């Protein structure tokens, strides 16, 4: 057998550089490059291997968590057909990635993490940044990755890579199992050499399958649909990742079954499709909420039914509601006692369209859907109207950006009150135009995610919408975007703190406690607003910075930003008290006893709403 003598780090990189994926006859390399921050735990191993491979791009990030976010955003735009490696030193560099790993796994997005680890020989112990345990020597901080990784391995000997690396790729390329994969390589092992079989480094193409559902279960599902009179479809991220948006539209056109969209599934249908009820769940439209409540059949496509989607298990109120779940993951397919159609969304939607050629919802039901669609579109138009208020209103800001953006552009967000308003109001015209990380709703994802999204979306603009709270958590990847000449436009909405949680706090009777950025006075944060200069901060990181006071100035700033040559921040203060109304309840526990009358009142409402919760068995 032909062999090649390489260090463990060199072998890992040589393997990754030759991994390809293929779906529907289209083939591409799986790892286009590597994000990383080098330290004593990886510089002589992975760092050295990267140094001697200049054709494999190495992107120096500013924060380990952020580089995982960037890799995830890139992969999300690429429909999980590509992702980046992320490498760190040991200790704090490694554990900084744990949040990113959780985000990737919860959102079912592939990313490969290679943190350095303590010496496998144990001769040098405790090494700098090593966690010691009095009960075992076979532990390090990298064990923290286990619960948030879909595959986890520690390489004690270089030859273990021969069996581990193919398993890494099996998980990363599995539509059902994908998520964060963590490969811990001790710093001494990274630099150790072994005679690896040459075959390990040959080009390998991993075919992304389109599994078919069980035939008997498919027949049962078809019978169930034909028997129902008020079906709905909940379109999740699986519709988009499968490339099944046309198939969903074909089914909706043929049967008249209305569609509502989760955060990950928004864009599955164009906003103006007559069967599109818009946002589903807690941040849903009135039409989607009303029709979910009366539905006798829920067809979930590529959704994991988070509490936002099910309105904390109170969305579906029909006494005999049934479920059919189309999902690549068996775990999600069986939720709510559903008929589980385990397989690829594109294939299964095609199967249903063919089998339901003679099925159509009644005319009145279909017209009701169309009416809801039109009424909501009129509401959005009103919300978008230019009020030119100072400070601006968030819905107005969204309207200006949505109207200005082209079909190829991406709007990106993750946390705060913006996701809910965007979910309801954004008029999605393309499956990739709406990019929300809401599986983990991670503050700090926005700018790092914008970097990754723009790296994947070279044809269009990327508009990062971020509140001041998230911006202050993680803005440093602006510098990475300057370094890589990757331009994005960041719209920073300043509402002086955590407006979303402030509003939630008020609804629970706690008066927005601890959610505003104020000076401390009389032992409370009730003083004047803090004098944070966001524009100066962005400029110090290398970006252009523009200011807008109202919607008219925001339009002008967007036009100017589009002409500029690098990442640009547009700063606009917004009114934290004026937001789009909510139309559904969300289960957030309220204190059972309190000295505050507002809390007592909130608890009474809470108890009333909880009576609508159901088990779907």
Give residue 301's pLDDT: 98
Residue 554 phi/psi, 5-degree rounding, is -65, -40
Give the angle subtended at the CA of 180 by the CAs of 182 and 436, to the nearest 5°.
Answer: 150
Q: How many angstroms separate the first and last alpha carbons of the chain? A: 56
In the numeric block, the tokens 């059949």 are attached to 297
Q: Tell me how crowded residue 361 is: count the other CB atoms within 10 A of its CB.
A: 20
Interval 549-562: pLDDT, tens = 999 999 999 999 99
Give residue 387's pLDDT: 79
DSSP 158-191: GGGHHHHHHHHHHHHT-TTT-SEEEEEEEHHHHH
pLDDT-based confidence at residue 585 (cuts at 50, 70, 90):
very high
DSSP state of 127: P
Q: Are 37 and 65 in contact (CB under 8 A)?
A: no
Give residue 579's pLDDT: 84
- Model confidence at 386: pLDDT above 80: no
Give residue 215's pLDDT: 98
Task: Looking at the structure, give the CATH architecture of the domain made up of residues 215-375.
Answer: 3-Layer(aba) Sandwich (3.40)
| Cis preceding linkage at 41, omega within 30 | no
The least confident of 76-80, 404-408, 521-525 is 521-525
- Model confidence at 388: pLDDT above 90: no
Q: Tell me how crowded residue 214 is: count the other CB atoms within 10 A of its CB.
A: 14
- Model confidence at 138: pLDDT above 80: yes
Task: Please provide the CATH number assigned to the domain covering 3-207.
Answer: 3.40.50.970
Is the sign of the CA dihedral 586, 590, 592, 598 positive or negative?
negative
Q: How far apart are CA 566 and CA 570, in angstroms?
A: 13
Q: How far apart are CA 545 and CA 541, in angstroms?
A: 11
- Model confidence at 13: pLDDT above 90: yes
User: Can you identify the CATH homologous superfamily of domain 385-573?
Assistant: Thiamin diphosphate (ThDP)-binding fold, Pyr/PP domains (3.40.50.970)
Beta pairing partners, 327: 342
What lies within 8 Å, CB to CB, of 246 at 6+ separation is none
Give residue 568's pLDDT: 98
Asked whether this chain's domains 215-375 and 385-573 adopt the same fold, the reply is yes
Domain residue limits, the chain: 3-207, 215-375, 385-573
Show the tokens assigned to 456. Answer: 């994947």
Give residue 171's pLDDT: 98
């Amino acid at each position: 057998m032909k062999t090649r003598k390489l260090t463990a780090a060199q072998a890992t990189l040589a393997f990754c550089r030759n991994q390809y994926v293929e779906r529907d006859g289209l083939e591409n390399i799986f790892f286009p490059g590597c994000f990383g921050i080098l330290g004593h735990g990886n510089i002589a191993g992975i760092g050295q291997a990267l140094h001697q491979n200049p054709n494999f791009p190495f992107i120096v990030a500013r924060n380990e968590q952020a580089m995982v976010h960037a890799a995830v955003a890139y992969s999300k735009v690429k429909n999980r057909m590509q992702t980046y490696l992320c490498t760190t030193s040991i200790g704090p560099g490694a554990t900084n990635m744990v949040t990113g790993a959780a985000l990737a796994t919860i959102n079912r997005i592939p990313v490969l993490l290679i943190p350095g680890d303590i010496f496998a020989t144990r001769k040098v112990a405790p090494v700098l940044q090593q966690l010691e345990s009095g009960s075992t020597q076979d532990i390090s901080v990298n064990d923290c990755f286990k619960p948030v990784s879909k595959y986890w391995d520690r390489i004690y000997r270089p030859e273990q890579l021969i069996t581990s690396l193919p398993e890494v790729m099996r998980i990363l390329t599995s539509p059902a199992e994908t998520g964060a994969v963590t490969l811990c390589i001790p710093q001494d092992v990274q630099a150790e050499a072994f005679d690896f079989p040459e075959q390990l480094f040959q080009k390998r193409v991993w075919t992304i399958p389109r599994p078919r559902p069980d035939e008997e279960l498919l027949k049962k599902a078809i019978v169930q649909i034909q028997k129902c009179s008020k079906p709905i479809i909940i379109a999740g991220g699986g519709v988009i990742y499968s490339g099944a948006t046309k198939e969903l539209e074909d089914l909706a056109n043929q049967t008249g079954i209305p569609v509502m969209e989760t955060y990950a599934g928004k864009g599955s249908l164009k906003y103006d499709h007559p069967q599109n009820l818009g946002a589903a769940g807690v941040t849903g439209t009135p039409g989607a909420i009303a029709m979910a409540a009366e539905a006798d059949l829920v067809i979930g496509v590529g959704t994991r039914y988070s509490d936002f989607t099910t309105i904390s298990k109170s969305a579906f109120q029909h006494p005999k509601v049934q479920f059919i779940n189309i999902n690549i993951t068996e775990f999600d397919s069986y939720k709510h006692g559903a008929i589980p159609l385990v397989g690829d969304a594109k294939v299964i939607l095609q199967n249903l369209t063919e089998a339901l050629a003679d099925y159509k919802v009644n005319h009145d039901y279909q017209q009701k859907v169309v009416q809801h669609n039109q009424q909501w579109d009129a509401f959005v138009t009103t919300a978008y109207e230019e009020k030119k208020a100072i400070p601006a209103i968030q819905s107005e800001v969204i309207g200006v950006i949505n109207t200005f953006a082209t079909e190829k552009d991406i709007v990106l967000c993750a946390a705060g009150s913006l996701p809910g308003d965007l979910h309801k109001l954004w008029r999605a015209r393309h499956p990739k135009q709406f990019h929300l990380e809401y599986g983990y709703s991670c503050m700090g994802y926005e700018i790092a995610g914008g970097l990754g999204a723009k790296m994947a979306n070279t044809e269009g603009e990327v508009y990062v919408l971020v509140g001041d709270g998230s911006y202050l958590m993680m803005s440093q990847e602006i510098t990475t975007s300057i370094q890589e000449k990757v331009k994005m436009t960041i719209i920073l909405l300043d509402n002086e703190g955590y407006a979303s949680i402030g509003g939630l706090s008020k609804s629970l009777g706690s008066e927005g406690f601890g959610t505003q950025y104020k000076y401390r006075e009389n032992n409370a944060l009730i003083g004047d607003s803090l004098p944070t200069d966001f524009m100066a901060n962005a400029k110090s990181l290398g970006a252009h910075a523009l200011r807008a006071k109202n919607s008219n100035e925001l339009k002008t700033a967007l036009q100017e930003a589009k002409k500029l040559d690098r990442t640009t921040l547009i700063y606009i203060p917004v009114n934290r008290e004026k937001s789009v109304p909510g139309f559904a309840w969300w289960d957030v526990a309220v204190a059972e006893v309190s000295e505050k009358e507002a809390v007592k009142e909130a608890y009474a409402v809470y108890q009333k709403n909880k009576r609508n919760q159901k088990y779907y068995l």
